[in-house]
Amino acid sequence: MEKHPVPVQLEKVTKIFRDPKSRSDVYAVRDAELQIESGELVTLLGPSGCGKTTMLRMVGGFELPTHGRIRIGGEDVTYLPPNARATATVFQSYGLFPHLDVFENVAYGLHVRKVPKAETETRVMEALGLVGLSELARRAPGRLSGGQQQRVALARSLVVRPQVLLLDEPLSNLDALLREQMRVEIRRIQKSLGITAIYVTHDRVEAMSLSDRVVVMKAGLVRQVGRPSAIYERPDSKFVAGFVGKVAFFPVEVLGEEEDDTVTCSLAGRRIVAGSMAPGVGDKAFLMARPESLRLGDPGTGACDGTVSTNVYLGSSVECFVATDYGEILVQIDDPSESRVRPEGTRVSISFDETRVRLLPEGDE
Amino acid sequence: MSTLGAPSLFTKKKILAFLTACAVFLAIDLWMFSALRDSYEKTVLQDKKELIVALARSAPAGGDAAAADAWLAEARKAYPAVRLLHVQGIPGADEVKVSSLDPELKSLWAAMQGEASFKLGVESASYLEVFVSPEPVRLGAQKSLLMFAPVPNKEGDTAVGIVVAAVDESALTSFFYLTYSLSVIAFLLFALGFGIATFSRDPLTGYAILVLFAIVLTFVAYPLFEALRLTFVQQGRFSLAVWKEILTNKQYLGALAGSVKLGVLTATLSTLLGFLFAFFVARTSMRGKKLVTALATLPVISPPFSLTLSIILLFGNNGLVTKRILGLDHFSIYGLGGLGLVQTISMFPIAFLTLAGVLEAIDSTLEDASLDLNASRWSTFARVTLPLAAPGILSSWLLVFTNSLADFANPLLLSGSFRVLSVESYIEVTGMNRLGNGAALSILLLLPTLTAFFVQRAWVAKKSFVVVTGKPSGRLSDLASRPTRILLLTGVVLTSVFIVSLYGTIVAGCFVKNWGIDYTFTMVNIVEALQRGKAAMLSTMTLAGIATPIAGFIAMIGAVLVVRKRFPGKRVLEALMMTPFAVPGTLIGISYILAFNQPPLLLVGTGAILVVCYVIRELPVGLEGGVATLRQIDPSIEEAASDLGADQATVFRTVILPLIRPAFISSMSYTFVRSMTAVSAIIFLISARWYHITIQIYNFSENIRFGLASVLATALIIIVLAVFGLMRVLVKKSEHLEKTVTVQ
């Protein structure tokens, strides 16, 4: 690939749609600031309607931002039409041309660029080889399976050697097994070609497993940007914590910060030390704990007591639901054995792995 | 990817293109403006001239000054705006007596003796010619044109005096300023629209929007406005006279009542018959459904006059059945009965197609549930099937009703003394030369259509509970009991046989020497009809052939704009494109003669007006087809093409057009067939050079040359069937496409 990967910048990008029914403005994306480095794969993650697809479509040129600028490789492309941008999109519904066969589909972008016939041929076959579809070049897209159609769409985008690859929930129409395979595949191809990529999904596992960085969005706002592990372990809000994984919250009073950056707080009078603290935490806060950072003990030994309500056996682990004053708390028991799993109905106490629990500001679902 | 380097939308190339377009438009604008002004001046001057000449004729030829003064006083009473001067005798030849009630004019007359225009005026008058001064003269406060009109003697061969009239010129100048400001506004609007389009991200879409707007404004909005204006304006003033006459005259009201009566009759009969057929096809398991469907849809695509023709051949004054077989002497098929019959046969297919769709969509498990709950077949039909189909039944009734009102061809041949609006307005225009009344009558025709349309929207749409489950309903439980089935079958078979025999009659008519009198076999008709109809046939096919691709492309581009683009005024554009669907053909015809009979848009008498008429009238159906198809196509297919580097034109050519090919082809074949078989609008627009095949059939029938008419009608049926056959083959080829279009 002769082209060097380029960075993508969004500067105060806002998109307002007008709701024709209520005649009011709806902010699809609000003041989004985002810097995507060259060759990076960034995921836009959020619930449906959070503006992630709109953001991707603005980078692709399918929507115009109401305010703000978009730069690709430092150049302002805000008002350029899609055909004048060095982006290529893999659509959720693939958008394959039903009247063209697989080869012609992939060759389309080269045809409109007037690439010579011989070169077209080699590049198309190369792209089809990359996604493992060389055998099916003369098939009509309607006669391919979902996964194959998805690969054609990917090959069609890659063959034009885009500087930025945009993927709009590309795996949402595939079954679970295929989705896992394609996830790995997409990451491998993106890294081997060194393309900058933006990937939209509402599936947190997908986002965690394939991206360099994750952008969590809600209601048009970018809530947090960071590496997958940072987003998972050190979220800044209850929303992000809850969206990227299973989590339990305990209302606590903050007592004071220690020198080693840990924070002491009290949960209904019991002293607890939390490993870290998100910005904006006041006197009252929420203690966030992932199921794997919780332990079960005999009543009275931990931070809070409760009764085991349900055990869900998952093979490598058991999910144990404990009814407490703070609601149903999920505790994950790894390497389950008879001795570690408590029968349903027993009184237990929950204790925290102090290095892995974190304080989050109040409110803000 | 060279375009990547240009983030600015104001490139040199675009600015140049913009300036060129503005210059071209300005030139056209100025030309149109001057043409308009000229033609207006001419007509205004002509009117005034005629008035003055008539006045001069009434002036006293001889007699004393008192007679002249009396005449002047009377003239002033009748025409206060015209300032007159009466000259007894011709200056230079006779003794001259000048009298006027206008001292300014009198002193002007004295002052201009010897001037060039004075001499010319007097000279023209002495030769019994009217003279208009080329330059306006100042007369008191106003600028006026002077007209010299001769006062003829009793025999009318020599001038014995002159009437000089001063006509106020301000009416002309105010019109001049009006057209001038209008053309400036037009230019500014154009520059604005074109500028926005050129410098936007997507110039091509902008241009397409501008062009479509220009087309519908010129060929839909403007003519209809002209027609409406004509009914409210008389001699330059607002007046309700036309409408008063229309709404009080018994003859016109009779026509309105006739139209409504016929509409109700046809709609009711057609819906009954259509329901019978639809129930047979959609709700029973009897055999022969395909054949029945084919027979029942045949009348939809059959050319006008053909069914009327065979009805006349069978049941007319010299009809095969009435005269030859039954020997009736005083039976007349002309009138409400015959019209109802022929309209029912040609329009029940509309009801059939609508109702078959509705009945097929009703989930038969609902009926099964009712039967399972121990309801009888009849009560299941009456309490489940019928209520579910009710909105569909009403909407089919309304559809047939509006079609019957707008129908022109059948009543034209078959109405006899029975009067309907569409034919009445035709007679007003072509027979009586009363365009205003004709226009008003056709507008009257529009009212029931619009009412039906809004009833449809408000009630039917709300009440529609057609259940589409998408699950295969499996076997139908037969609702019809044995006697019902026999009754149903009898009705369907009888109607089908009747339809077949109607078409058989037309074909038979080609080979009969003189229908009704001499039934011997002959080929003479065919030779003569083809000879005499050749020119009309050729011109019709040429014009329909030109209109077809134009209509197809406009419809498809319109569909893309409607479905895929967002722009201000989209609703207006869509409404204007759909308008011709609701407007009766007679109204379109009349409005076109009104709008396009003078420069700059002098189209009447040319082939172009026929082409425009075909394109505009068939646009709504093509548009609907394109919109429906496009709605089923995933927009990301087009986005993918654009994303891969294709510009708007390339996307349209390489992706959209191939994908909407079925709609494109069917819209084009529909346009061709409908254009070939058009009657109502084009009967106003044809000329000797550009004749139309259907009008030829009408003329042959009017002249009782039924043999010739049959030959042309048969030829037309063959063409229609051939085009539809070709369309089916072409569409079938791309059917594999339709199935994979939605890859969701």
ipTM of the complex: 0.81
CA separation (Å) from B228 to A67, B224, B403, B436, B448?
Answer: 47, 6, 22, 9, 17
Residue-averaged pLDDT of chain A: 87
The C-alpha atoms of residue A178 and residue A192 are separated, in whole angstroms, by 21
pTM: 0.75
Structural domains in chain A plus CATH codes: 8-233 (3.40.50.300), 247-361 (2.40.50.140)
Question: Which of B201, B658, B737 is the closest to A81 by Cβ?
Answer: B201
* Confidence (pLDDT) at A1: 42
CA separation (Å) from B250 to A231, B67, B151, B338?
Answer: 85, 46, 44, 23
Look at residue A224 and tell me whether its pLDDT is greater than 60.
Answer: yes
First to last CA, chain A: 45
Q: For residue B491, how many C-alpha atoms fall within 13 Å in the half-sphere facing its CB?
A: 17
The C-alpha atoms of residue B709 and residue B713 are separated, in whole angstroms, by 6
Q: Which residue has the tokens 């009967």?
A: B683
Task: Identify the CA nearest to B578 among candidates B530, B621, B635.
Answer: B621
Report the DSSP beta bridge partners of residue A164: A87, A196
The C-alpha atoms of residue B682 and residue A127 are separated, in whole angstroms, by 58
**Element housing A352 (H / E):** strand A347-352
* Confidence (pLDDT) at B739: 42
Name every residue in A having a CB less than 8 A away from some CB of B.
Answer: 60-62, 64, 75-89, 91-99, 108-109, 112-113, 140-142, 149, 153, 156-157, 160, 173
Which of A120-129, A341-350, B131-140, B435-444 has the lowest average pLDDT?
Answer: B131-140
Question: Exposed/middle/buried for A356, CB within 10 Å: 0-12, 13-18, 19+?
Answer: middle
CB contacts < 8 A (A, B): 111
B251 in contact with A at a CB cutoff of 8 Å?
A: no
* Confidence (pLDDT) at B554: 93
* Confidence (pLDDT) at A215: 94
B598 or A10, which is more confident?
Answer: A10
Question: What strands lie across the sheet with A75-76, from one edge to the other?
Answer: A24-36, A8-19, A67-72, A75-76
Confidence of residue A185 (pLDDT cuts 50, 70, 90): confident
Q: Are strands B97-99 and B83-88 parallel, antiparallel or unpaired?
A: antiparallel
Contact list in B for residue A142 (CB cut-off 8 A) is 736, 739-740, 743
Percent above pLDDT 90 for chain A: 24
B647 in contact with A at a CB cutoff of 8 Å?
A: yes
* Confidence (pLDDT) at A133: 87
Name residue B656's amino acid: I
B657 in contact with A at a CB cutoff of 8 Å?
A: no
* Confidence (pLDDT) at A365: 58
The C-alpha atoms of residue B509 and residue B514 are separated, in whole angstroms, by 9
Write out the CATH class of domain B525-735. Answer: mainly alpha
The C-alpha atoms of residue A207 and residue A213 are separated, in whole angstroms, by 9
* Confidence (pLDDT) at A276: 83
* Confidence (pLDDT) at B735: 53
B203 or A144, which is more confident?
Answer: A144
Report the DSSP beta bridge partners of residue B98: B87
CATH topology for B244-522 is: MetI-like fold (1.10.3720)
Contact state of A83 with B658 under an 8 Å Cβ cutoff: no
Helix axes B435-455, B222-232, angle to 10 degrees: 120
Which of B644, B650, B656 best probes binding to A when mutated, by most A CB atoms within 10 angstroms?
B644
The yes-or-no answer to whether B244-522 and B525-735 have a common fold is yes
Residue numbers of chain B with a pLDDT score lower than 70 = 1-9, 63, 170-172, 235-236, 459-480, 599-600, 733-744
Q: For residue B290, how many C-alpha atoms fall within 13 Å in the half-sphere facing its CB?
A: 0
Contact state of B743 with A140 under an 8 Å Cβ cutoff: no
Contact state of A75 with B740 under an 8 Å Cβ cutoff: no
Question: Which of B7, B645, B739 is the closest to A109 by Cβ?
Answer: B645
Structure tokens at A173: 């129409």
Contact state of B658 with A99 under an 8 Å Cβ cutoff: yes
Q: Which residue has the tokens 């992939």?
A: A106
Enumerate the domain spans of chain B.
2-33+175-236, 56-172, 244-522, 525-735
Instruction: Name the CATH code of domain B56-172 (choices 3.30.450, 1.10.10, 3.30.310, 3.40.50).
Output: 3.30.450
The answer to whether the CB of B743 falls within 8 A of the CB of B634 is yes
B286 or A12, which is more confident?
Answer: A12
Confidence of residue A337 (pLDDT cuts 50, 70, 90): confident
The answer to whether the CB of A199 falls within 8 A of the CB of A41 is yes
Contact state of A89 with B639 under an 8 Å Cβ cutoff: yes
Chain A CA closest to residue B637: A95
Contact state of B637 with A78 under an 8 Å Cβ cutoff: no
Contact state of B643 with A82 under an 8 Å Cβ cutoff: yes
Distance from CA of A12 to the nearest CA of B (A): 19
Distance from CA of B640 to the nearest CA of A (A): 6
* Confidence (pLDDT) at B667: 87
